[in-house]
Amino acid sequence: MTSESPLEKDTGRVEAFSDGVFAIAITLLILEIKVPNLGAGATDGKLLAALGALWPSYLAFVLSFFVILIMWVNHHEFLRLVRAVDYPFLFANGAVLLMVTFVPFPTAVLAAHLGAEGARGAVAFYCATFFAASLAYNVMLCTVFPSRRLVRSDVPDEVLDRVRRAYRSGPLVYGLSVTLALWNAWAGLALCTSLWALWTNLCYRSSRP
């Protein structure tokens, strides 16, 4: 048995583990929103005002929630192309999950600085996370597609080509959003967000066998 031989013939176990990590990471996002500490003399009005002032936290929460949801959908669509699991794929998939798990941290940084000082730095860091995540998705692709080593036999080559093109555009555009964020926080965040919409659409059209 060579190191090339697959560990398992189907991807069910990796899928279940990955789904678990996605579900937990998406739920941990809420922990970044902290209850406002009003001390003594908290009136209803002051409380509601303090809750309203947390809008950057809510926005960061909603954005990251839907990013992780889209990453989950893409991950699942990707796994439908895969017929078996080996160690290179397992660790590349681990790198993707590492980035998913990391998302709550840049989300908390974003929440702390959006609409305040340091917003450009926070958005750049936030976009850089997805730059790294898109690299990880590309590494995962490289453990599956070349010579169709782990690709299901019923997936046509043109589907692989389209998925490959969609994945390769990721690092480029996320890299651009980092640069843009350093110039204008909202512009960088908008590019990041619009990318997710685009990404959904691209993958939807490209990864269906």
Angstrom distance (rounded) from CA 111 to CA 121: 12
Minimum CB–partner distance for residue 99 and its own copies (Å) = 10
**Subset of residues 156 to 185 that bind its own copies, contact rule: CB under 8 A:** 182
Angstrom distance (rounded) from CA 21 to CA 15: 10
Task: Return the residue of 12, 115, 118, 146 that touches its own copies, per CB under 8 A.
Answer: 118
- Report phi then psi at 8, rounded to 5: -140, 150
Minimum CB–partner distance for residue 164 and its own copies (Å) = 20
Angstrom distance (rounded) from CA 76 to CA 96: 12
Q: Applying CB under 8 A, does 90 fall inside the site for its own copies?
A: yes
What does 124-171 look like in DSSP terms, one character per residue?
A: HHHHHHHHHHHHHHHHHHHTTSGGGTTB-TTS-HHHHHHHHHHHHHHH
**Subset of residues 130 to 159 that bind its own copies, contact rule: CB under 8 A:** none
The interaxial angle of helices 55-79 and 185-206, nearest 10 deg, is 20
Q: Applying CB under 8 A, does 187 fall inside the site for its own copies?
A: no
Minimum CB–partner distance for residue 25 and its own copies (Å) = 5
Q: Tell me the residue type at 74.
A: N
Q: Applying CB under 8 A, does 4 fall inside the site for its own copies?
A: no
Q: Tell me the residue type at 153.
A: S
Binding segment toward its own copies, per CB under 8 A, in 18-26, 142-150, 165-173, 186-194: 18-26
Q: List contacts with its own copies (CB under 8 A).
A: 1, 3, 13, 16-17, 19-33, 35, 38, 40-48, 51, 61-62, 65-66, 69, 72-73, 76, 87, 90-91, 94, 97-98, 101-102, 104-105, 108-109, 112-113, 116-122, 124-125, 182, 200, 204, 208
